[in-house]
């Protein structure tokens, strides 16, 4: 499974945008980039995923570098509810399991 690298922690202010980076320099051409987050005392929840093009949904946007060696999860207006551990995960085309790394702990200040 290809590896991702994320900062251990980040801080943001409420109602400001947050950019969570992820490096995946060994990504293969068929790996999808997935983001999940885990709120305190809950199971992980899906945020967004993409292959090559930038993606938007109601929760966030995913910006993927042209060479696909990095990506950025964008929360457009952080709320206190967005405080969580965010995981960037690569999933190959021949598997469905997710291998979680250590993720980024996002703190949101009021």
Partner 1 sequence: DSGVTQTPKHLITATGQRVTLRCSPRSGDLSVYWYQQSLDQGLQFLIQYYNGEERAKGNILERFSAQQFPDLHSELNLSSLELGDSALYFCASSVGGLGPRTGELFFGEGSRLTVL
Binding site for partner 1 (CB under 8 A): 32, 36, 38, 42-46, 49, 87, 91-102
- Distance separating alpha carbons of residues 18 and 72, to the nearest angstrom: 10
| DSSP code, position 31 | P
Given a contact cutoff of 8 angstroms between Cβ atoms, the answer to whether 103 and 20 are in contact is no
* Nearer Cβ to partner 1 (78/103): 103
Joined tokens for residue 74: 């964008």
CB of 68 to partner 1, least distance (A): 16
CB of 51 to partner 1, least distance (A): 8
Q: How far is the CB of 99 from partner 1 (least distance, A)?
A: 6
Beta carbon of residue 16, minimum distance to partner 1 (angstroms, whole number): 27
| Closer CB to partner 1, 1 or 14, in the complex | 1
The pair of structure tokens assigned to 22 is: 């992820």
Structure tokens at 51: 């292959």
For partner 1, the closer of residues 14 and 59 by Cβ is 59
Tokens of 65: 């570098």
């Amino acid at each position: 499974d290809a590896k991702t690298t994320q900062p251990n922690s980040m801080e943001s202010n409420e109602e400001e945008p947050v950019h969570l980076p992820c490096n995946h320099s060994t990504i293969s051409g068929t790996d999808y980039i997935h983001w999940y987050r885990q709120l305190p005392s809950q199971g992980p929840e899906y945020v967004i995923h993409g292959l090559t093009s930038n993606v938007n949904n109601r929760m966030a946007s995913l910006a993927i570098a042209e060479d696909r060696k990095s990506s950025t999860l964008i929360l457009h207006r952080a709320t206190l509810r967005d405080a969580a551990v965010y995981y960037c995960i690569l999933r190959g085309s021949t598997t469905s399991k997710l291998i979680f790394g250590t993720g980024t702990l996002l703190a949101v200040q009021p």
